[in-house]
Amino acid sequence: MDRILFTIGSLDIGGAEKQMLLLIKQLINRKYSVVVFVLLDNGHLKSDLVKMGVKVVSGGLKKGDMRNKPWKLILSQFKLFRTVRGYRPTIIHSFLPVITFMSALAGRICNTNLVITSRRAMGNHQGRFPLLIPFDLTAHMLSHYITANSRAVQADLVEREHVDKSKTVLIHNGIDLDCFNKAPMVRKQWRNRMGIKDSQKVIICLANLIKYKGHRDFLYAIKEINRLNNTHFWFVGEDRGIRSELESLARQLDIEHRIEFLGTRLDIPELLAASDISVLASHEEGFSNVILESMAAGLPVVATDVGGNGEAVVNGVTGWLVPPKNSGVLAKKIIDLLENPDRAKKMGEQGRARVKAHFSVERLVNQHIALYQSPPGAQIPQISGAKFDSQSKRQLDRPQR
């Protein structure tokens, strides 16, 4: 049986981290041997891995070390070498920048059978951190395969970094629908717990508080929606340094009484069950896990048409796609759903059907297993979720076989 070493930067709550956890859980159920190497100590998801019986090896970094004490990465690299030599994995699969370089280097030096790195977002981080460019390019060169979680990310790899497309493998994110099946049953309970009346609407924004997630645009949109006084807005996500700025803007716009910052939460399915519309105002995305979770919970989605968002949301069918950095259009589409509840309900139903047909956890796992069983250099079938023109309003496509 294959031994797989997963490597990642942290185990905080994020899209890549949750997808890795979901994949590991299913692989363990299929009797794969799994070890996780993580650069940063602790993290909210570490306890989930420990409960599954997965060994977690720490690279020894603390938050801020990569920026303030980058020399510590050298020590982490040696720890990773020791882990690879001790565990002797047949496969190394890494997620997110920096650790992808470290893992590809360790895997090749230690003659690991299969070295896989993952690109989970567009390469815009290279503009913010140019020093990462040579590390990304080296990781690509050393990898046998590079997984991309959307067609947009795959195309970005080829166009921006000149990666050979035959080396890339498209595997969209997956969702465990079982986590969201109880949504109708807990909706009233959780709305009562959060102090929401039956007549009130809740719009939820699930995104860590990072500038490129577009929270400021959403606040300006809320100002335009302010005439709908029975609507509340939940901001859910870890503060990455901008919460005070957002709170200040909310006060300036006189909408702070409509907004709740709920921070990091582990009860996402329940919060979605208590909500009516999901909004994602990002300026950039790879393939949003939040969109899939929202659709799985039966919510219509209003999302910016960036990255792979248009591969999940069928515009006018499962929600609305809007231009990024345009609070006016964002507000207009949210108001449309608030004023047309029947349309919103139908979009939510079709969104859940789309997740079930194209983005199931079984599909995610089967595609990864097919990749793990492929020798280096093999042609991997490029099979993943259906493609939609973001401006189209055609009906849902048939489930893939």
Q: What is the spatial distance between Cα 140 and Cα 178, in angstroms, rounded to a whole number?
A: 35
Tell me, yes or no, whether 389 lies in a domain. Answer: no
Among the candidates 154, 170, 186, a domain finishes at 170
In this structure, the answer to whether residues 131 and 266 fall within a common structural domain is: no
What strand order describes the sheet that includes 301-304? 259-263, 231-236, 201-206, 277-280, 301-304, 319-322
Q: What is the spatial distance between Cα 133 and Cα 128, in angstroms, rounded to a whole number?
A: 10
In this structure, the answer to whether residues 269 and 303 fall within a common structural domain is: yes
Q: What is the pLDDT along the chain (401 residues), one digit of tens a residue?
A: 689 999 999 999 888 999 999 999 999 999 999 999 999 988 889 999 999 999 999 999 998 888 889 899 999 999 999 999 999 999 999 999 999 999 999 999 999 999 999 999 888 888 787 888 999 999 999 999 999 999 999 999 999 999 999 999 999 999 999 889 877 788 999 999 999 999 999 999 999 999 999 999 999 999 998 766 789 999 999 999 999 999 999 999 999 999 999 999 989 999 999 999 999 999 999 999 999 999 999 999 999 999 999 999 999 999 999 999 999 999 999 999 999 999 999 999 999 999 999 999 999 999 999 999 988 877 665 554 444 444 434 444 443 33
Helix (H, G, I), strand (E, B) or coil at 261: strand
* Residue-range definition of the domain harbouring residue 231: 177-358
R_g of the chain, CA atoms, integer Å: 21
In this structure, the answer to whether residues 165 and 182 fall within a common structural domain is: no
In this structure, the answer to whether residues 306 and 245 fall within a common structural domain is: yes
pTM as predicted: 0.89
In this structure, the answer to whether residues 101 and 248 fall within a common structural domain is: no
Among the candidates 170, 191, 224, a domain finishes at 170
Tell me, yes or no, whether 371 lies in a domain. Answer: no
Q: What is the spatial distance between Cα 199 and Cα 111, in angstroms, rounded to a whole number?
A: 62
Q: Tokens representing 301?
A: 């989605």
Tell me, yes or no, whether 386 lies in a domain. Answer: no
Q: Which amino acid is at 318?
A: T
Strands 201-206, 168-170: pairing kind? unpaired
In this structure, the answer to whether residues 110 and 208 fall within a common structural domain is: no
Q: Tokens representing 230?
A: 């029975």
Task: State the burial class of residue 122 (Cβ atoms within 10 Å of its Cβ: 0-12, 13-18, 19+).
Answer: buried
Among the candidates 140, 170, 200, a domain finishes at 170
Contact call for residues 7 and 116 (beta carbons, < 8 A): no
In this structure, the answer to whether residues 345 and 264 fall within a common structural domain is: yes
Quick one: CA dihedral 352, 357, 362, 363, positive or negative?
negative
Q: What is the spatial distance between Cα 158 and Cα 328, in angstroms, rounded to a whole number?
A: 34
Q: What is the spatial distance between Cα 219 and Cα 229, in angstroms, rounded to a whole number?
A: 15
In this structure, the answer to whether residues 257 and 275 fall within a common structural domain is: yes
For the chain, what is the domain count? 2
Tell me, yes or no, whether 374 lies in a domain. Answer: no
Q: What is the spatial distance between Cα 103 and Cα 121, in angstroms, rounded to a whole number?
A: 18
In this structure, the answer to whether residues 352 and 318 fall within a common structural domain is: yes
Q: Which amino acid is at 9?
A: G
Q: Tokens representing 27?
A: 């692989």
What is the number of other CB atoms lying within 10 angstroms of the CB of residue 227? 8
* Backbone angles phi and psi of 191, in degrees to 5: -65, -40
Tell me, yes or no, whether 335 lies in a domain. Answer: yes
Tell me, yes or no, whether 363 lies in a domain. Answer: no
Contact call for residues 288 and 282 (beta carbons, < 8 A): yes
Q: What is the CATH number of the domain that holds 225?
A: 3.40.50.2000
DSSP assignment of 358-383, as one string?
A: H-BHHHHHHHHHHHHTSPTT------
Longest dimension (CA), the chain: 63
In this structure, the answer to whether residues 86 and 222 fall within a common structural domain is: no
In this structure, the answer to whether residues 127 and 245 fall within a common structural domain is: no
In this structure, the answer to whether residues 195 and 299 fall within a common structural domain is: yes
